[in-house]
Amino acid sequence: MTIRHRSGCGGRPSAGLCRWGWVLLPAVLLAAVSPGMAEAQVQASDNARQITVDEAVEIALRRNPGLLQAFSAIEMAEHNRLSAYGALLPGVSASFSYSNSSTGRLDALNQGFAATSYSTRINAGYTLFDGWGRFSNLKSARLGVVEQNARYREAEFQVMQQVKQAYAAAVATRDLVAVEERRVQRQADQLEFVRQQLELGRATRSDSLRSQVDLNNAQLSLLNARNNARTRTFELTEVIGSETLVGPTAEAELAVTEIPFTRDELFAIADVSAPGLQAASVAVEAAEAAVSGARSSYLPTISLNGGYGWANQEFPPSNRSWSIGLTGSYPLFNGFQRETQVFRAQATADQARQAERAARLNLSSLLDARYATAQSALAGVELAEQNVELSEESLRVVQERYQLGLATILELQDAQITFTQSEIDLVSRRFEYEAAVATIEALLGRRLDQQP
């Protein structure tokens, strides 16, 4: 075998070292860096509090910032409903006045001059008729509460989806760390065996160097996997809103349970329970009620007013009076404000109807896509499990053939890579299935293990 090297190293006693320096450099870097980094990562992982996925969901439902904002929207809607109820009740007000001056003022009632005066009055008013505006507003306010509750339920399941996906990602990266650790161990065993064969004259220097390269690459991949696992742990902590670092339990695994519903059954469930679709439908009803309220401005308004008061120059006041009146008004022309109000209400209702239609189409599209992804991932899990078994057996055969001198180091490397990749593919497929199931549950607004 002819190995080319840079001319800058030629002719020097260290030419062999320069020739293979690119091979040994990763090992030198790993020897200097990896022990401290690996130890720090292990210590950081130990600091994470281990929780189950159900515990993670429970914490997120209590502490997730986005969910707390959605709950505030419900409270605002309930206060709007209270205000709409208040519009059906009479308005009551009380007033009091007192005045004093250095010079007397003419009191026409008592035919004299007075320096002080007192007055107290209670007024009440009630709108007898304003079309159906107040009742339309009340209906709209009630529907607003229903809509915000549906929005909150939608946000709740979205948070659950995020938590489950983040938890599954943390478990997946932890499994990938285990895959890379096994790869490092296999490569270390392979290097030791090749060195023994080299001493016996059954292997070449190239075989030993290639095995060292494989071990170095495996160690680098292990460092990357540990860093990814650390990142996923912080992402899980952020999603659930925890102030302390949390991670999955040692018993947590990517369990693959087949979806107990067909595609058509999922669509039927979505029509009934999907929170996003329910919120869009209620928004349409609320917008239509607002149109009715806007049209009531074309009708007259009739109000009943009454009051009772006391007034005098001395305290307590002794002069009493009462009043009662019935008033009505009808705007003949108000600069097209009524027309504009009705047009805006109708436009809002049209937009709400189109938003509902878009939500329904989007739900159907996402649900179909996630169901297809789940089924594909489920089939992929079965194939990946077979590939792991086959590639492991293939690696065993190639190792035996290499020991007998019937296989080259390149064949052994290919078998190692194929086996490692099959393990990675299995973890990836399991994670894809978990993520797809979590998305389906978020779209439906219910868990798939619950009966309809």
For the stretch 76-104, pLDDT in tens is: 999 999 998 988 889 899 988 877 766 65
Q: Among 48, 442, 98, which residue's Cα sits nearest to residue 244? A: 48
- Cα–chain center distance at 40: 30
Residue range 339-372, pLDDT digits in tens: 898 999 999 999 999 999 999 999 999 999 999 9
**pLDDT-derived band at 111, boundaries 50, 70, 90:** low
- Which one, of 419, 449, 431, 440, lies nearest residue 165 by Cα? 431
Per mean pLDDT, which range of 118-127, 193-202, 275-284, 315-324 is the poorest?
315-324
Question: What confidence category does residue 50 fall into, taking pLDDT thresholds of 50, 70 and 90?
Answer: very high
Q: Which residue has the higher pLDDT, 331 or 249?
A: 249
pLDDT value of position 444: 92
Q: How far apart are the first and last CA of the chain?
A: 69
- Comparing C-alpha atoms, which of 151, 62, 444, 90 is closest to residue 269? 444
Q: How far apart are CA 427 and CA 385, in angstroms?
A: 10
Show the beta-strand stretches assigned E in 59-111: 91-107
pLDDT at 6: 36
Q: What structural domains and CATH numbers belong to the chain?
A: 23-92+129-300+336-444 (1.20.1600.10)
Strand order across the 319-329 sheet: 91-107, 112-129, 301-312, 319-329
pLDDT of residue 359: 93
18 or 418, higher pLDDT? 418
State the average pLDDT for the chain: 83
pLDDT of 329: 85
Contact assessment for residue 236 and residue 247, using Cβ atoms and an 8 Å cutoff:
yes
Cis amide bond preceding 65, omega within 30: no
> What is the H or E stretch that residue 293 is in?
helix 275-295
Residue % of the chain over a pLDDT of 70: 85
What tokens were used for 231? 């990142």
Cα 209 to Cα 134, 190, 415: the distances in Å are 86, 12, 17
Residue with tokens 């090297």: 5
Query: What average pLDDT score do residues 119-141 get?
Result: 86
Of 255 and 401, which is predicted with more confidence? Answer: 401
> Tokens representing 58?
């429970």
pTM of the model: 0.72
Pick the residue with more confidence: 139 or 65? 139
pLDDT band at 119 (very low <50, low <70, confident <90, very high): confident
Contact in structure between 432 and 381 (CB atoms under 8 Å): no
With bands split at pLDDT 50, 70 and 90, how would you rate the model's confidence at 130? confident
Tokens at residue 168, please?
Answer: 């599954």
CA angle 168, 57, 55 (to 5 degrees): 90
